[in-house]
Structure 1
Amino acid sequence: MEKYEQYQRVFDHFDSNGDGRICPVELRQCVGSIGGEMTAEEAEAAVVLMDSDGDGLLCLEDFVRIVEGAGEEEKAGDLKAAFKMYEMEGSGWITAKSLRRMLSRLGERRSVEECRNMIARFDMNGDGVLNFDEFKAMMSPS
């Protein structure tokens, strides 16, 4: 089944009155059905924030953006966790030595010079280390 069809099925399930839109009450019920909690005020605010056409309801496209955005947040969290594994003792950057140490733990032997060269390819500000944004660019598929 295509991903868009899956979104449509989930959306239709949440759209309890079948009008093709999710209202704040339905959104609140959706969150409750998956074990979350949302007040009526939070549901109203969420719909206002995510509603692309200003009608006070979420259409399928709004819903897809929300679901895919949640996936992006999860990916960002995973990247932050990976970054912390590579960085040097909470310094906020990855050095050639810390990169070499982590690669060694993963069974990949590299010299400090090879690690410097790897860093240099993604070191946008030229400071010789990778900050989180540079690490994110390095990890993004090109």
Structure 2
Amino acid sequence: MPQFSRYQRVFNSIDSDCDGKVSSQDLLTRFAAVTGEHLTEEEAAAVVAAYDSDDDGLLEIAEFERFVEEGDGEGKEIKEAFKMYEMEGLGVITAVSLRRMLSQLGESRSIGDCNRMIAKFDVNGDGVLCFDEFRIMMLL
């Protein structure tokens, strides 16, 4: 049985045509769908170009893993952001803590909305975001 990457679920959700590869267009579309912010075509292309080791213009799972693990050039800021969202002292972001933080930022969301936001990046399926899952979310 093949071993799956700890990022496989997130990778699969970004891989729009399920071909085992992520294009800059996949990143562009996914970023906007998840964050509501728009990544420019140039930014998405730059991510793919930086981590595409076989020069096929696409990211395979190993290249995506490297992007997630090495691409965190703003690690300190992401760690600080995680601490802001993780309000319950559990070391994870729950729907309640996400809702509370979004409310403080002026964005009203229901618990259901927060659960759906978490589910998009909940790699291990435990219903909360650990730091690695949060980092993936912030990088996309």
Q: Greater RCO between the two (CA within 8 Å, min separation 6)?
A: 2
More helix by share: 1
User: Could you say which structure has the larger radius of gyration?
Assistant: 1
TM bucket (normalised to shorter chain) is 0.3 to 0.5
Give the TM-score taking structure 1 as reference length.
0.47
Give the TM-score taking structure 2 as reference length.
0.48
